[in-house]
Amino acid sequence: MEDHATLRLEERPQDVLLVTLDRPEVANAFNTQTALDLTAVFESAGSHRCVVLTGAGERAFCAGGDLKERNALTDEQWHAQHKIFERMFRAVRDCPVPVIAAVNGAAYAGGLELLLHCDFAYTSKNARFALTEVSLGIMPGGGGTQTLARAIGERRAKEVILAARPFSAEEALAWGVVNKLCEPDEVLPETLGAASRVAANAPLAVRQAKRAIHGGLQMQLGDAMRFEIENYNRLVGSEDRREGIRAFNEKRKPVFKGR
């Protein structure tokens, strides 16, 4: 697979796509080109069964927006660039297949927002997390005020955001920001292992389940239950549903084709 200017892409077994932010010299901070590259990748990621997102090196997953690039922007240019960033975050959030973050170092500002748009995350024990925007005269603008509050609760999110308070990997695990702590050299292998487990399941079922969880959490329970059934019913006529039940009864491993 062809790399983009700021990313490295690698096809892994079972149709897993590994996406690496490749700007280690600036702690994998994203500039305009990175945002364009990520948008292009995630808007076309539906041909895979799972995506793993990580950063190059051990220093950082992603330090957020590249402030050196932003230093020379006029107000109008700032707004224009931020619209590109907004599309990037939407592309990750709305990716139809599961996206797992392998957090190999610091996830600050937009880097933490990027992580929060992934479906779940494994992290190095050495990682640190923060939404530092208010210390720079701005505020989280990549969904952080919404996604962090949903992950850790309103009062704790206010403390983290309003005080620009960093938190540790242990706190991230306890609060539900990440799912597992790993030794630094085990983060990527553990995350790829999780991606393989996801990819081994029926791809249509995985997509519909992701859609039901994400969409249903924005609804009242009764509406969410109906939304779940809508997604469930779309699977009844699929070849994969018939294959899964047939394989169970024949005591063999199913061969899912995403149809």
pLDDT at res. 250: 87
Range of the domain at 112: 7-199
Q: Are residues 188 and 207 in the same domain?
A: no
Q: How confident is the model at residue 68 (pLDDT cuts 50, 70, 90)?
A: confident
Identify the active-site residue in 2, 10, 69, 133. Answer: 133
| pLDDT of 46 strictly over 60 | yes
Q: What percent of the chain has pLDDT over 90?
A: 83
Burial letters 173-209, b for 16+ CB under 10 A, else e: bebebbbebbeeeebbebbbebbbebbebbbbbbbbb
Q: Are residues 189 and 207 in the same domain?
A: no
pLDDT at res. 257: 87
Element (H, E) at 130: strand 128-130
Shortest CA distance to 99 belongs to which of 31, 50, 159, 162? Answer: 50
* Two structure tokens written together for 171: 């706190």
pLDDT at res. 70: 82
Is there a catalytic annotation at residue 170? no
Q: Are residues 236 and 165 in the same domain?
A: no
Q: What percent of the chain has pLDDT over 70?
A: 99
**CATH code (residue 192):** 3.90.226.10
Is there a catalytic annotation at residue 243? no
The pLDDT of 34-62, averaged and rounded, is 94
pTM: 0.92
Identify the active-site residue in 113, 154, 183, 190. Answer: 113
Q: Are residues 71 and 177 in the same domain?
A: yes
Q: Are residues 21 and 105 in the same domain?
A: yes
* Per-residue pLDDT tens digits for 223-244: 999 999 999 999 999 989 998 9
Q: Are residues 98 and 222 in the same domain?
A: no
> How many domains would you assign to the chain?
2
Query: Residue 16: what are its φ and ψ, rounded to 5°?
Result: -95, 130
Q: How confident is the model at residue 132 (pLDDT cuts 50, 70, 90)?
A: very high
Q: How confident is the model at residue 1 (pLDDT cuts 50, 70, 90)?
A: low
Q: Are residues 37 and 125 in the same domain?
A: yes
Q: Are residues 195 and 98 in the same domain?
A: yes
Task: Look at residue 254 and tell me if it is in a domain.
Answer: no
| pLDDT of 69 strictly over 90 | no
Mean pLDDT of the chain: 93
Q: Are residues 215 and 175 in the same domain?
A: no
Q: Are residues 116 and 236 in the same domain?
A: no
Show Cβ contacts of residue 88 under 8 Å, excluding neighbours closer than 6 positions.
30, 34, 35, 36, 38, 39, 42
Q: Are residues 71 and 129 in the same domain?
A: yes
Q: Are residues 220 and 152 in the same domain?
A: no
